[in-house]
A and B are shown apart, each in its own frame.
Chain A
Amino acid sequence: MALVLGTIAKLVGFNIFKLLYYIREELLIVLGTSSSESALPQLMRKLENAGASKSVVSLVVPTGYSFNLDGTNIYMTLATLFIAQATNTPLTLEHELMVLGVAMLTSKGAGAVTGGGFITLAATLAVVPEIPVAGMALILGVDRFMSECRSLTNFIGNSVATLVVARWEGELDLDRLHAVLDRRDVVALDASVARA
């Protein structure tokens, strides 16, 4: 996924690692709380500060938070395969495609529910009755850690998404983005970002 997001970032014209460094505070807060919504307001301010227009940021970040869950999606297919393999359940290509299609739908609401990733996984597993749902007990124990990874990936994916849409819409100030990511001096939009 880092590769995919990195490539997308490159196409838009910025370095993904510089972006990660720029939003390091938010990432740590997400890591600490394992919930990507905890740093949502700060992320929006920072993306605006990085040159994306206010209107794009305020539309894309909140919607992406419900609809753009890269981490949850990776987890969904990976966990399904894991449970199938661990319980020696053979899966046909048809099954896999079915999981893919259903996960696409079920993951949409995951952000809105607490422990959402796990519930949506249950909903996804339900479409392939061959996979024993009880297998979920295998990964329940590590779900807290998985949840951290999901939130972080979701969060990064969302930051990239905002910059992509802003660029696409011609509302991304590339000079400003580079200046901010290179930690050059810029006139901060508001005091709270300047301090951060």
Chain B
Amino acid sequence: MTPSALESLMRRPFYKILYVQVLLAVVFGVVLGVVFPHAAEAMKPFGDGFIKLVKMIIAPVVFCTVVVGIAAMGDVKRVGRVGGKALLYFEVVSSFALVIGLIVGKVMQPGAGFNVDVSTLDVKSVSGFTNQAAHTSTIDFLLNIIPKTLVGALAEGEILQVLFVAILTGFALSALGPTGSPPSAICWS
């Protein structure tokens, strides 16, 4: 460990480091769940609240970083090139991931021997998910990337919509040139 890292650790007591807190909370949750299952279940709102707090700020953060990222590149062609490379890489690696899942499933046979009788399964528990799935076709999905209103994307927090609006805003700002820098400066801060 470097002297400065050590120093910064000394300055901050360990219980103030976020991941230590998260770890402690996980351990505490497990213990509580074993000892007092009902009390533990009653704690759920705290966890949900924490996640909601974090998600609340995701949309503005993503919006600002993407706008700044595009505006900082200045050149629309470069944005396209980086985006293209990113998407190409995503597709290749995602396909790898899909194939890995397939091969592992083939080789390990995780479900073999269960011999589940489908009629005994509780369909109701999954019907909510299947209904939701049935309502999302590819075209709906693509159209859904375009938000109802410009600020609607940020208000709803749909991350794809936020991304879409942010990319457009970034392009617009970089097309404006120097005139566009005051708004980008706001996002920088």
Contacts and interface: CB of A to CB of B under 8 A. Distances in A.
Given A33-B51, A85-B109, A122-B129, A100 B102 contact: yes
Main secondary structure of the interface of A (DSSP, over half): helix
B66 interface: yes
B39 interface: no
B62 A62 contact: yes
A85 B112 contact: yes
B10 interface: no
A132 B112 CA distance: 16
A136 interface: yes
Interface string B18-55: 11001101100000000000000000000100110011
B118 interface: yes
Interface in B116-150: 116, 118, 121-123, 125-126, 129-130, 132-134, 136, 138, 141
B158 A112 contact: yes
Given A59-B70, A109-B160, A164 B89 contact: yes
A154 to B, nearest CB: 10
Contact of A63 (B18, B19, B86): B86
A28 B72 contact: no
A28 B22 contact: yes
B2 A183 contact: yes
Interface string A177-192: 0000001110000000
Contact of A104 (B73, B78, B95): B95
Contacts of B94: 67-70, 73, 104, 107
Contacts of A153: 97
Main secondary structure of the interface of B (DSSP, over half): helix
A40 B115 contact: no
A52 B129 CA distance: 39
A120 B94 CA distance: 15
Interface residues of A, number: 88
Interface in A93-145: 96, 99-100, 103-105, 107-109, 111-112, 115, 118-123, 126, 132-138, 140
Interface residues of B, number: 80
Contact of A74 (B68, B101, B112): B101
B106 interface: yes
Given A104-B95, A195-B8, A54 B72 contact: yes
Contacts of A19: none
A40 B61 contact: yes
Contacts of B136: 109, 119, 123
Interface in A57-100: 57-71, 73-78, 80-88, 96, 99-100
Nearest to A82: B111
B77 interface: no
Contact of A165 (B85, B106, B121, B126): B85
A81 B19 contact: no
A68 B112 CA distance: 30
Q: Which of B1, B25, B125 has the most CB of A within 10 A?
A: B125
Interface of A: 1, 4, 8, 24-25, 28-29, 31-33, 35, 37-38, 40-41, 44, 54-71, 73-78, 80-88, 96, 99-100, 103-105, 107-109, 111-112, 115, 118-123, 126, 132-138, 140, 153, 157, 161, 164-165, 168-169, 183-185, 194-195
